[in-house]
Structure 1
Amino acid sequence: MRRAVTGEHTPSSDFDLNPETVLPPNRKLRPAGVLAAFLPGENGLELLLTKRSSRLKHHPGQIAFPGGKVDPVDDGPVDAALREAHEEVGLPREAVELLGTMAPHETVTGFLATPVLGLVRDAFDPIAEPGEVAEIFRVPFDHVTDPARYSIQWRRWRGQRRYYYTAPFGPYYIWGATARMLRALAGRISP
Structure 2
Amino acid sequence: MSDWADRLSAALNRPGPGSSDFDLNPEAVLPPNRKLRPAGVLVPISLVEEEPRLILTKRSSALKHHPGQIAFPGGKQDEGDANVTEAALREAYEEIGLPRDLPEVVGLLPAHETVTSFMVTPVVAVLRENFSVMPEPGEVEEVFSVPLAHVLDPDRYSVQSRRWRGQRRYYYTAPFGPYYIWGATARMLRGLAARMTE
Tell me, yes or no, whether TM beats 0.5: yes
Deviation string, structure 1 residues 9-60 (Cα, Å, up to 9, x no partner): 3110001000000101110111100000000254410000000011222211
Structure 1, unmatched stretches of 5+, are none
In structure 1, the partner of 2:106 is 99
> Could you tell me which of 53, 56, 75 is aligned with 2:60?
53
**Any runs of at least 4 consecutive aligned residues in structure 1 with deviations exceeding 2 A, and if so which?**
40-43
Bigger mean CA offset, 57-66 vs 166-175: 57-66
Deviation string, structure 1 residues 112-134 (Cα, Å, up to 9, x no partner): 10000000122211110000100
Alpha-carbon separation, structure 2, partners of 1:82 and 1:102 = 15
Contact 2:77 2:84 in 1 (8 A): yes
Deviation string, structure 1 residues 49-90 (Cα, Å, up to 9, x no partner): 000011222211100000000011101110000000000000
Query: What SS does the corresponding residue of 1:81 show, helix, strand or coil?
Result: helix
Alpha-carbon separation, structure 2, partners of 1:105 and 1:140 = 23
In structure 1, the partner of 2:124 is 117
In structure 2, the partner of 1:2 is 9
> Could you tell me which of 79, 85, 92 is aligned with 1:85?
92
> Could you tell me which of 139, 142, 156 is aligned with 1:149?
156
Letter in 2 for 1:49: L
Bigger mean CA offset, 28-37 vs 6-15: 6-15
Letter in 1 for 2:127: V
In structure 1, the partner of 2:147 is 140
Alpha-carbon separation, structure 2, partners of 1:189 and 1:3 = 9
Letter in 1 for 2:186: A
Contact 2:48 2:130 in 1 (8 A): no
Alpha-carbon separation, structure 2, partners of 1:43 and 1:122 = 13
Percent of pairs with identical residues: 64
Alpha-carbon separation, structure 1, partners of 2:87 and 2:11 = 21
Superposition deviation, residue 4 in structure 1: 2.5
> Could you tell me which of 59, 73, 94 is aligned with 1:66?
73
Q: TM-score, normalised by structure 1?
A: 0.97
Alpha-carbon separation, structure 1, partners of 2:67 and 2:32 = 27
* 1:23 maps onto 2:45 in alignment: no
Query: What SS does the corresponding residue of 2:94 show, helix, strand or coil?
Result: helix
Alpha-carbon separation, structure 2, partners of 1:7 and 1:186 = 13
Query: What SS does the corresponding residue of 2:54 show, helix, strand or coil?
Result: strand
Number of equivalent positions: 191
Structure 2, unmatched stretches of 5+, are 1-7
